[in-house]
Amino acid sequence: MDFSNSAYMQLYDKINGYLLEKSIALANSSFGTYIRESIWEFPVIEGIHVLSIAMSVGMILWFDLRLMGVNMRHRPVSEVFRGVYWWMVGGFTAAIVSGVILFWAEADRAFPNIFARFKFMGLLFAGLNILYFHNVTQKSQSEWDYAARPPLKVRMAGFMSITWWVIVIAAGRLMAYTF
């Protein structure tokens, strides 16, 4: 079977080609060009991107480790969550906004990059992990909120979250090397 010419591959090529075209247009837009060619803006936005990731992922890691029963075991899960929530959300918002601007400026090179795709995949799975945790696992939170070592499904949610964020950060850094 010639896989390279299968219906799936043709569809993939079509979508890929369409998005690549859009990415090139994005990078060549006046805003994209302005950011890319700037002396200060690009490095400053990149700095904000790295530091806001460090803050928000640091906080997410803290909550994940509580879910895994590793730290702050004597405090309820909900209390640890409240302590980090707004800082996590604030840092993550800054990371998303700065990340969108960086992608905008270099979309033509970022979109086809293999590590960029790993990073987006990691972000997607991290998001799905949060959705599943919030809509399914957290329904029974009253049963394990005070548990020093929460049940396996809760520890798994924390472990998976850390795994996806490690992938996002490693892929994000490696992406910059392959530009």
Partner 1 sequence: MIAMIDKSILLPLFEWMATTSLGQSISNSKYAFAVIEVFHLFGIILLLGSTSLMALRLVGLGMKQQKITDVARSVGWYTFAGLLTMLVTGGMMMVSIPTKYYHSAPFWWKMGFFWTGVLFHFTLYRKATRSDRTGLLLGGITAALAIILWYGTGAFGRAIGFY
What residues line the site for partner 1 (CB under 8 A)?
Answer: 43, 46-47, 50-51, 53-55, 57-59, 61-62, 71-72, 75, 79-80, 83-84, 87, 166, 169-170, 173-174, 177
CB of 55 to partner 1, least distance (A): 5
CB of 9 to partner 1, least distance (A): 30
Nearer to partner 1, 32 or 172 (CB): 172
Q: Which residues contact 99 (CB under 8 A, 6 or more apart)?
A: 49
Nearer to partner 1, 57 or 101 (CB): 57
Distance CA 148, CA 150 (A): 6
Nearer to partner 1, 14 or 82 (CB): 82
Structure tokens at 145: 């909120």
CB of 14 to partner 1, least distance (A): 33
CB of 51 to partner 1, least distance (A): 5
Nearer to partner 1, 34 or 86 (CB): 86
Residue 69 Ramachandran class (φ > 0 left, ψ -120 to 50 alpha, else beta):
left
Nearer to partner 1, 82 or 134 (CB): 82
CB of 120 to partner 1, least distance (A): 17
Residue 41 Ramachandran class (φ > 0 left, ψ -120 to 50 alpha, else beta):
alpha
Give the CA angle between residues 109, 164, 119 to the nearest 5°: 5
Distance CA 27, CA 25 (A): 6
Burial track 49-79 (b if 16+ CB lie within 10 A, e otherwise): beebbebbbebbbbbbbbbbbeebeeeebee
